[in-house]
Amino acid sequence: MVVYEDESLFPAPRDAVWKLLEAHLDDQTILGIHPQIVAQRTVSREGPTIVVDRTIDVRGKRLNSRWKLTYKAPDTARWEIQTSEGPWAPGSYLETTYLEAPGGTLIRARGELKVSVLPFFIPQKGVIRGAFETIHREDLAATRK
């Protein structure tokens, strides 16, 4: 696993960020936010915890995974991979906090992640950072719609 940490300013108020996060829980809406997610099915909802099955397109290959999402609006969110064919390895997780800040929402993320479909000779850290940069751009585009 690779430790991932990031802090960034998302140029939208915290309530708009949470509206976006909640849209990620809708099995159809998420497909328009993140095009690499080609299917999502909610398995269970219990309090702040939602379990979803996702199919993700990784370079033309459809891989299935189960995600446990815990949202405690407006302050924290966590996702953890429970089972996976890829791209994220089981046990990968990301915890995020959201704070009001001038110009938007300060987002602090920390997790331990592994891309399971990556050849051993390609560095995990750069691929993980690149994946989150893509996710950030897609989220930003979704807030502008």
Residues 6+ apart with CB under 8 A from 16: 105, 143
pLDDT at residue 118 in the model: 86
Check if the beta carbon of residue 26 is closer than 8 Å to that of residue 42.
Answer: no
Tokens standing for residue 129: 């950072």
pTM for this predicted structure: 0.93
* pLDDT at res. 119: 85
| Joined tokens for residue 130 | 């690149």
Q: Two tokens at 68?
A: 């446990």
Per-residue pLDDT in tens (0 to 9) along the chain, 145 residues: 999 999 999 999 999 999 999 999 999 999 999 999 999 999 999 999 999 999 999 989 999 999 999 999 999 999 999 999 999 999 999 999 999 999 999 999 999 999 998 888 889 999 999 999 999 999 999 998 7
Structural domains of the chain ordered from first start:
2-144 (3.30.530.20)
